[in-house]
Structure 1
Amino acid sequence: MKIRHYFATAVGKTSQWLLQTFFKGGSSYPGKIALTLDPNILDYLAKDYEVIVVTGTNGKTLTTALIVKILQQEFDDVLTNPTGANMVQGIVSTFLSAHGKKGRKKFAVLEIDEASLSKVTRYIKPKLFVFTNIFRDQMDRYGEIYTTYQMILDGAAQAPEATILANGDSPIFNSKDTPNPRIYYGFNHQADHEQFAHPNTDGVLCPHCQHILHYKMITYANLGKYYCPNCDFKRPELAYQLTQLGEMTNVSSVFTVDEESYKIEVGGLYNIYNALTAAAVGQHYGVSPEKIRLGLGYDEKVFGRQEVITIGSKKCTLVLVKNPVGLNQVIDTITLSPNDFSLVCLLNANYADGIDVSWIWDGSYEHLTKRAIPQVLTGGDRREDMTFRLQVAGIAEETIHECANLDDVIAQIPQLPTEEVYILATYTAVLQLRQKLTEKGILKGGN
């Protein structure tokens, strides 16, 4: 069996080198080759690693990146899958690319798609699962939030000794017993105040008695200090807690976790959750506050997460949007901008985006009317739906220009009347836009 492991590894590494050297790509294909030669190769490749898995609806990519940055302050060998190749073959490719030295403590921090988790944990046994949140997303693929959570639990159950570090503000993460030990993080920054979630909010029924949950504090959506007035269901005790919110702008946030002050160089309350999650992982592994602060403080934007691209003379901030809760947080964040801005909305409906685009009607595009946005460009495969949604939201029809293709979008951006531009795009639209920008030399090497 060892010979099979070695042969599959050698062939996988060789194909990876060839693809990266001569074709500048191939993130998953080497893993596919290695798996064909040895279906159990992942167990062999990951055996010396402390594996941390990050999963959930929103925040996986940035949370994973922040965890990696924090652990790198303390440990020399930290492997991750930065390309977003989070299916089994992509994970195998990630391990094939490792160059860690023997004798050192080695980490693998892996972003795993919710639906793929059980496929991965069939082969590797993580030591820590990190659950960010679960919101309604791509219902044609995941179904309702309870179906998605069961997918995650099925994956975690295959590594029952692994600890689950979960968002304690999310009721669903406290709704079922698990064989895994659980610890929680969350917000504890306000005095108790009796309130309810917004009527158009998923996941606010008590899992024990189906009574509507009450809240003593709400951050957004169904996240907060919840309790059921009809039974004993309530938010669990928090092992790691955010106790104070400082200045929040559209590009940065200051906050306090367990009496330590931190700052991140991205805006939005939702990104503070991502930072809190990463800080909790750092504390779990004994990383000092000083090193956590360094890890959180890096200013390297992650793919599609408030990355800034200059097109002509315009400063364009590219933001991935994929479901109503995430979209609403993005809208809240960009409206904090002190400057006037134009808007670009790119809507696709491919498999990776979610074929059903009805989610845009649950997004609060109406909040954009708080700002006098002088011009809006719409594009993507479902640009007509996007245009109509913005018109219904109250954005003046004469300010909206529909672009037939991405070349048209890119050509129109330098003509926009403001220096600042926000581009809100679904997943495949982000990929397509970045590819076009690379072809035109605006992005170098896809970066």
Structure 2
Amino acid sequence: MTLRSNFAINAGRFALWGLTTFTRGGSSLPGKIATTIDPNVLEALTKNYKVVVITGTNGKTLTTALTVQALKQKYPQVLTNPTGSNMQQGIVSTFLTAPNLKDGEQGIAVLEVDEGSLKHVVNALKPELFVHTNVFRDQMDRYGEIYSIYELMADAAKAVPNATVLANADSPLFNSMELPNPREYFGFDHKVDHDVEPHYNTDGILCPHCNNVLSYHNLTYANLGKYYCKHCDFKRPNLDYSINKVEELTLTHSTFEIDGHSFTIPVAGLYNIYNALAAYSVARFLGVEPNDIREGFKQAERVFGRQEIININGKKVLLNLVKNPVGLNQVIELVGLEKNPFMLVSILNNQYADGTDVSWIWDGHYEQMVNFPIKETVVGGMKADEMKLRLTVAGIPEESITQLNSMNDIIEAIENSSEEHVHILATYTAMLELRKILQEKNHL
């Protein structure tokens, strides 16, 4: 390690100590300080770590959390970025928090990495494994179309050709180009083959070989499933790890079989079973036995903002992050499992971290909510007007929607509601602001 790197690391750790001691902490500032002093500090920090990079549009945070719990059953030193700070500075900060490893000791770093940040960190991290979860339209102002997003992911993999790419086989995009890397695949294989067509407004269902519309023997959601092309030999690759059976889907948990082994996770939805499958696949790739993975999943907790359960004055509040059409539609299906009357809260911001273009809400299937047992509806956030209009167009009576200007007013409305069940759908910065005030009010 160079003197410059050593000084950068010490400066970053001092900043981390100060933030932790005198404030609520900060996930990226120590990394920013260290990187400013030494742009190559990340390479020095990762020297004794085997690195797993988890990237993709949806599911990075929960996949990372489940993977960490599974790996901890076998490996004593597992490092991760649990706050979801997944850009370069946040990743550097993560390594600054790590204890010093003993001579000859090797740790495992399981890192959620933003697709746009891959190119800035991949050469320093030198991952042993890339995990590609999915690619959907997300923050068009930042990333562009899905093909641009995947190009970022593929370029990062090509920069480390010895790293294995562990990809979601159900996404046609992940089988659309040649890579120099070894590849393994995970996916769903839980139903007998039958003909099914994706929604007409689905992205990524053109064959990359002949440009015809793909057909499906099975479809989980969006463009994910057992695809094939009727006009050429393009089809889903063989699975190395697979979901054999979905046993139970409820509002609070999911039970399923992977490779003949039964697992339960404390979150709902097919999209979260994909996350568990990805985590299982990483753990098996690194030699963890299924029974240990099961034990790790039992110890996993809900990730903040992702089906997080909050008690507000005795009310059961379920908080869900929404950030793009596919994720939103999966959350709407999840809310549809609610049998009790409930209050709906929808908070829409358009800060940079949310994506400044909020037109994606018009691709959300809010029309399904007309048949949900919603008794009160509240909208808020920077784009509350747009949110109210979308719900009105979906069929929710305008006069039944209350628009509130501040997060404090929203929380007060929840506190005073007569409903015992509340579902909150919030974009990223709205979710962070909401949680901050809930903490100040001792609800968290």
Same fold (TM over 0.5): yes
Q: How does 1:170-209 map to 2 (within 5 A)?
A: 170-209=171-210
Of the structure 1 ranges 175-184 and 433-442, higher mean CA displacement relative to structure 2 is found in 433-442
| Match of residue 71 from structure 2 | 71
Greater shift in the superposed pair: 11-20 or 52-61: 11-20
**Aligned residue in 1 for 2:372:** 371
Gaps spanning 5+ residues in structure 1: where? Answer: none
1:350 is the counterpart of 2:351? yes
Give the alignment of 1:101-180 within 5 angstroms. 101-102=101-102, 103-180=104-181
Identify which range, 230-239 or 410-419, moves more after superposition. Answer: 410-419
Residue of structure 1 in register with 2:263 after alignment? 262
1:326, distance to aligned residue in structure 2 (A): 0.5
In the alignment, the residues of structure 1 paired with residue 331 and residue 64 of structure 2 have an alpha-carbon distance, to the nearest angstrom, of 19
* Superposition deviation, residue 268 in structure 1: 0.7
Structure 2 SS opposite 1:160: coil
Report sequence identity in percent: 56
Residue aligning to 1:252:
253
Which has the larger displacement, 285-294 or 391-400? Answer: 391-400
Task: Tell me the distance in 1 between the aligned counterparts of 2:106 and 2:272.
Answer: 29
Give the match's secondary structure for 1:179.
Answer: coil
Q: State the Cα deviation string for residues 233-276 of structure 1 (Å, max 9, x = none).
A: 00001100011110110111110000100011101111010011
- Equivalent residue letter for 1:365: Y
Aligned to 1:50: 50
CA distance in 1, matches of 2:354, 2:267: 23
Q: How does 1:219-368 map to 2 (within 5 A)?
A: 219-298=220-299, 300-368=301-369
TM-score for the superposition, normalised by structure 2: 0.98
> Any conservation in 2 of the 1:169–1:235 contact (CA below 8 Å)?
yes
**Residue of structure 2 in register with 1:99 after alignment:** 99
1:390 pairs with 2:391: yes
Offset at residue 221 of structure 1 (A): 0.5
Any idea what SS the aligned residue of 2:311 has? Answer: strand
Deviations 1:122-150 (Å, cap 9, x if unpaired)? 32200000000000111011100000100
Distance 1:253 1:263 in 2: 6
Question: Which residue of structure 1 lines up, in the alignment, with residue 27 of structure 2?
Answer: 27
Shift of 1:432: 0.8
Aligned partner of residue 121 in structure 1, secondary structure: helix
1:415 maps to 2:416: yes
Distance in structure 2 (CA, Å) of the matches to 1:279 and 1:428 = 30
Cα displacement string for residues 423-446 of structure 1 (whole angstroms, at most 9, x for unaligned residues):
000000001111122222322xxx
Equivalent pairs, count = 443
Q: Are 1:56 and 1:131, in contact at CA under 8 Å, matched by a contact in 2?
A: yes
Equivalent pair of 1:57/1:135 in contact (CA under 8 Å) = yes
Cα separation, 2, equivalents of 1:7 and 1:155 = 29
Between 280-289 and 213-222, the greater mean CA deviation after superposition? 280-289
Output the amino acid matched with 1:208.
H
Deviation of 1:299 (Å)? 5.0
Partner in structure 1 of residue 60 of structure 2: 60
Amino acid in structure 1 at the alignment position of 2:96: L
Partners of 1:298 and 1:334 lie apart in 2 by: 25
Q: Partner letter of residue 8 of structure 1?
A: A
- 2:52 partner SS: strand
Partner of 1:404 in structure 2?
Answer: 405
Taking the aligned partners of 1:323 and 1:27, their CA distance within structure 2 comes to 24
- State the match for 2:218 in structure 1: 217
CA distances 1:54-108 after superposition (whole Å, capped 9, x unpaired): 0000000000000001001111100001112222111111111101532333100
Give a deviation string over 1:22-56, Cα, whole Å, max 9, x none: 22312211111211222111111101101000000
Task: Please give the alpha-carbon distance, in whole angstroms, between the structure 2 residues aligned to 1:6 and 1:156.
Answer: 29
Residue identity matched to 1:42: L
Query: Unaligned stretches of 5+ in structure 2?
Result: none
Are the aligned partners of 2:342 and 2:423 in contact in 1 as well (CA < 8 Å)? yes
8 Å CA contact 2:48, 2:107 repeated in 1: yes
User: d(CA) in 2 for partners of 1:316 and 1:420?
Assistant: 6
Give the equivalent residue in structure 2 for 1:440.
Answer: 441
Distance 1:417 1:215 in 2: 45
Which moves more between the two structures, 358-367 or 294-303?
294-303
CA contact (8 A) 1:252 1:263 kept: yes
Contact 1:119 1:155 in 2 (8 A): no
In the alignment, the residues of structure 2 paired with residue 33 and residue 407 of structure 1 have an alpha-carbon distance, to the nearest angstrom, of: 34
CA distance in 2: counterparts of 1:301 and 1:100, whole angstroms: 29
SS of the residue corresponding to residue 399 of structure 2 reads helix
Partner Cα separation in structure 1 for residue 336 and residue 18 of structure 2: 46
Q: Distance in 1 between matches of 2:168 and 2:100?
A: 31
Q: 1:88 and 2:84 equivalent?
A: no
Query: Are residues 415 and 23 of structure 1, via their aligned partners in 2, closer, same or farther at CA, if it must alter by over 3 Å?
Result: closer
RMSD of aligned residue pairs (Cα, Å): 1.2
Aligned partners of 2:111 and 2:437: how far apart in 1?
28
Matches within 5 A, 1:8-27: 8-27=8-27
Instruction: For residues 384-433 of structure 1, give each alpha carbon's deviation from its aligned partner in whole angstroms, at most 9, with x where no partner exists.
Output: 11111111111122321111111110111122232010100000000111
Which residue number in structure 1 is paired with residue 4 of structure 2?
4
| Structure 2 SS opposite 1:204 | coil
2:30–2:93 contact (8 Å) kept in structure 1 = yes
Contact 1:59 1:132 in 2 (8 A): yes
Contact map agreement 1:324 1:359 (CA 8 A) in 2: yes
Given the two structures, how large is their TM-score scaled by the length of structure 1?
0.97
